[in-house]
């Protein structure tokens, strides 16, 4: 394995539904946060006022962390003025970069702000990456479905920064190329309104109409978890690790951010990475990605090899594995009550309490479960009373694996735990010169190095009666930095005099020094300089006779002008701006997936599938019918509308 020759700046990028989550992410160790503004973020339910965005920016910048604004939906013709206004407000608020999908924004008069190409831009080839870099993007957020080899190939071809997701929910479709939700009910992921069609139960039929799978979640992916692969991603050229979850609460954000912070700090100690923000994290909590909301985990396609990436039995969170079912103690048929099970846990330290969520796969392979109403510890097992299912087929089979998908004690602890971020400073008291000096103990920015001094009023100074404890008493008062962004990393006295200074004098001195540190920190933070976006005309990759189809997501005339200047002569409008009738037409490409239903079911065409699976296959949900096309040459699956 190739080794990193020198430490590289690596950013941990955390999601924020709102101001509270943004501050929680920074406290837990995020080097940057991304959040939505008043509109046009790819999570429409996670919008924020510009006042809250500005507060998040100021809090992040205190630790030299960054704040990015998601402006990454398609912009309709009558919305561009508002979108540009939000971009300018974000620039004025100090936002470090805009995350963008719609190329029309580049034509509409953006301020000189850094641009990041959203994963919705479908960046999966070196050619597309080079195109966007030349168009003015400083960072590229690559598609989740790429392998390490593909990531490395792209990173080696561009000078732009490379960002990849490392944790959270996976889209089954290539990002920016999913139109299934919009086809079914008009709610588009490209507009931040995805109805999660991939999490629905589908019926799988063959061309003869035979039902092969009934009410299975055939498009529902596991959650991404690349914790063990960070070093390889760094070696591949990634500089920003992104956590998915802009709809998650502060408990989730704190836990998962602290979890990855711990890993990145370990890589820093190995000399592989260097920090991009400042401050140390102080908490008594131990982060654990197993104990917070998640489906089953996968590192997806990083190895470039197929595996079981989906879970057909449920689209919901399963949580941590906690043990096996030993016995069902009692059960009242026909109603939801009275289920008591005996559980033997994998870990002797596992503890249950009321409010925990317990789940399992029933005899039909469907996830079942309920909340624990009472938990009793036994000698070598637990008795758990929970709201049980009403049909015998839904009972947990003896010996089955049990999972806890809600850990009430863990969530409560993280909700109330102190998780603080402090910037270490050095405090030195010169007892001869009667000065208190404060300097940065560590900081990635050279612009903030130096020393602040505060003179001690000599008329308030006395010779210490207890010379042996004089220095300790001075330092004890000065180190009280709770409630500020700082912590005393080093404390010492210099000088021969042993003095006594009233607490009120030392408190005032400490207050003035903290104000000075805040002022220096605020002034020392500057956004990276950015040249104004200039029109470019390099050819768009992959154009066939100047034709650009609807997967380019052109929803306004500004975007059309952008692509015309880059070689397009015939442009299909975006799927989202079509009429309902046009969106419901048969034969349209709605998804391109790395996930393959045939493979997952053991029916790969390269491995001699059974006759029922050998021909055309269809997904059915209600009145909707979708044709599956298996592109074996490129090892991917396509989902099209209607029978074709």
- Model confidence over 35-85: pLDDT tens digits? 999 999 877 777 899 999 999 999 999 999 999 999 999 999 999 999 999
Residue with tokens 């992040």: 60
Q: By C-alpha distance, which of 318, 322, 297, 293 is closest to 308? A: 297
Of 376, 406, 436, the one marking the end of a domain is: 406
- Residue 71: count of CB within 10 angstroms of its CB: 29
pLDDT at residue 61 in the model: 95
pLDDT at residue 76 in the model: 97
Give Cα 77 distance to the centre of its chain: 30
Angle between helix axes 19-27 and 50-62 (nearest 10 degrees) is 10
pLDDT at residue 331 in the model: 54
Same domain, 350 and 458: no
| Structural domain contains residue 344 | yes
Same domain, 35 and 86: yes
Q: Cβ distance 357 to 322 under 8 Å?
A: no
Same domain, 22 and 161: yes
**How far is 122 from 144, CA to CA, in rounded Å?**
9
Of 584, 600, 616, the one marking the end of a domain is: 584
Same domain, 152 and 51: yes
- Residue 166: count of CB within 10 angstroms of its CB: 26
Same domain, 103 and 131: yes
Give Cα 389 distance to the centre of its chain: 34
| Structural domain contains residue 183 | no
Of 259, 282, 305, the one marking the end of a domain is: 282
The CA angle 297-301-306, to the nearest 5 degrees, is 95
Structural domain of 217: 193-221+585-644
127-163: b (≥16 Cβ within 10 Å) or e: ebbbbbbebbbbbbbbbbbbbbebbbbbbeebebbbb
Q: Where are the beta strands (DSSP E) in 418-532?
A: 420-430, 435-440, 451-455, 462-463, 486-494, 499-500
> Residues 371-405: pLDDT tens digits?
898 899 998 899 998 876 555 567 788 899 999 99
**How far is 445 from 479, CA to CA, in rounded Å?**
24
Same domain, 16 and 26: yes
427 phi and psi angles, rounded to 5 deg: -115, 125
CATH code where residue 358 lies:
2.40.10.230
| Structural domain contains residue 287 | no
Segment 465-474 long-range contacts (CB within 8 Å, at least 24 positions apart): 465/500, 467/498, 470/498, 470/499, 470/500, 471/429, 471/431, 471/498, 473/500, 474/429, 474/431, 474/499, 474/501, 474/506
| Structural domain contains residue 416 | no
Q: Which residue has the higher pLDDT, 252 or 441?
A: 252
- SS3 category, 31: coil
| Structural domain contains residue 177 | no
Same domain, 354 and 241: no
pLDDT at residue 256 in the model: 98
Same domain, 21 and 128: yes
| Structural domain contains residue 86 | yes
Q: Is the pLDDT of residue 334 over 50?
A: no
Angle between helix axes 467-478 and 503-524 (nearest 10 degrees) is 40
Same domain, 116 and 254: yes
pLDDT at residue 122 in the model: 96
Question: What whole-number percentage of the chain has pLDDT above 70?
Answer: 95
Same domain, 206 and 270: no
Query: pLDDT band at 441, cuts 50/70/90?
Result: low
Same domain, 41 and 90: yes
| Structural domain contains residue 245 | yes
| Structural domain contains residue 305 | no
Same domain, 501 and 371: no
Instruction: Provide the domain count of the chain.
Output: 5
> Residues 495-543: pLDDT tens digits?
999 999 999 999 999 999 999 998 888 888 999 999 888 999 999 998 9
């Amino acid at each position: 394995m190739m080794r990193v020759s020198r430490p590289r700046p690596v950013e941990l990028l955390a999601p924020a539904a709102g101001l509270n989550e943004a501050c929680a992410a920074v406290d837990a160790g995020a080097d940057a946060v991304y959040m939505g503004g008043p509109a046009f973020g790819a999570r429409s339910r996670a919008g924020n006022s510009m006042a809250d965005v500005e507060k998040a920016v100021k809090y992040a910048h205190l630790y030299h962390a960054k704040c990015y604004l998601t402006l990454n939906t398609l912009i309709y013709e009558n919305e561009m003025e508002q979108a540009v206004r939000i971009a300018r407000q974000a620039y004025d608020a100090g936002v470090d970069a805009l995350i963008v999908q719609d190329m029309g924004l580049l034509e509409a008069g953006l301020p000189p702000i850094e641009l990041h190409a959203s994963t919705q831009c479908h960046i999966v080839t070196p050619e597309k990456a080079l195109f966007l870099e030349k168009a003015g993007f400083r960072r590229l957020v690559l598609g989740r479905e790429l392998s390490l080899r593909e990531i490395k190939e792209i990173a080696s071809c561009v000078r732009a920064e490379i960002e990849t997701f490392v944790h959270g929910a996976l889209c089954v479709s290539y990002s920016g190329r999913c139109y299934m939700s919009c086809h079914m009910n008009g709610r588009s992921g490209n507009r931040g309104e995805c109805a999660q069609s991939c999490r629905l139960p589908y019926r799988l039929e063959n061309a003869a109409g035979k039902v092969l799978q009934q009410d299975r979640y055939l498009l529902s992916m596991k959650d991404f978890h690349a914790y063990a692969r960070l070093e390889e991603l760094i070696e591949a050229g990634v500089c920003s690790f992104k956590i998915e979850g802009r709809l998650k609460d502060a408990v989730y954000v704190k836990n998962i951010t602290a979890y990855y912070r711990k890993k990145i700090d370990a890589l820093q100690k190995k000399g592989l990475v260097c920090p991009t923000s400042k401050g140390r994290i102080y908490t008594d909590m131990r982060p654990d990605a197993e104990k917070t909301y998640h489906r089953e985990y996968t590192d997806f396609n990083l190895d470039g090899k197929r595996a079981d990436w989906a879970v057909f039995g449920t689209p919901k969170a399963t949580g941590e594995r906690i043990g096996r079912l030993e016995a069902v103690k009692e059960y009242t048929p026909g109603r939801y009550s009275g289920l008591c099970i005996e559980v033997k846990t994998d870990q002797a330290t596992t503890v249950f309490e009321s409010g925990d969520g317990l789940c399992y796969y029933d005899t039909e392979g469907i996830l079942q479960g309920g909340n624990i109403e009472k938990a009793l510890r036994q000698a070598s097992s637990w008795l758990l009373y929970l709201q049980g299912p009403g049909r015998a087929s839904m009972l947990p089979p003896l010996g089955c694996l049990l999972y806890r998908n809600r850990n009430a004690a863990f969530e409560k602890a993280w909700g109330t735990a102190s998780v603080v971020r402090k910037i270490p400073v050095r405090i030195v008291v010169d007892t001869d010169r009667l000065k208190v000096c404060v300097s940065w103990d560590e900081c990635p920015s050279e612009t903030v190095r130096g020393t602040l001094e505060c003179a001690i009023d000599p008329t308030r100074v006395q010779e210490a009666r207890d010379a042996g404890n004089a220095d300790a008493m001075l330092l004890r008062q000065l180190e009280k930095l709770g409630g500020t962004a700082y912590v005393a990393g080093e404390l010492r006295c210099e000088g021969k005099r042993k003095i006594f200074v009233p607490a009120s004098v030392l408190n005032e001195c400490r207050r003035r020094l903290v104000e000075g540190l805040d002022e220096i920190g605020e002034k020392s933070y500057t956004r990276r300089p950015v040249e104004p976006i200039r029109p470019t005309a390099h050819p768009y990759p992959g154009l066939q006779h100047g034709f650009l189809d609807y997967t380019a997501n052109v929803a306004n005339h500004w975007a059309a002008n952008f692509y015309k200047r880059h070689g397009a002569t015939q442009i299909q409008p975006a799927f989202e701006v079509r009429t309902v009738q046009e969106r419901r037409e048969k034969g349209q490409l709605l998804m391109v997936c790395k996930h393959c239903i045939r493979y997952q079911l053991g029916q790969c065409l390269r491995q001699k599938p059974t006759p029922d699976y050998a021909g055309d296959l269809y997904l059915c949900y209600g009145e909707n019918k979708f044709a599956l096309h298996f592109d074996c040459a490129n090892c991917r699956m396509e989902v099209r509308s209607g029978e074709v």
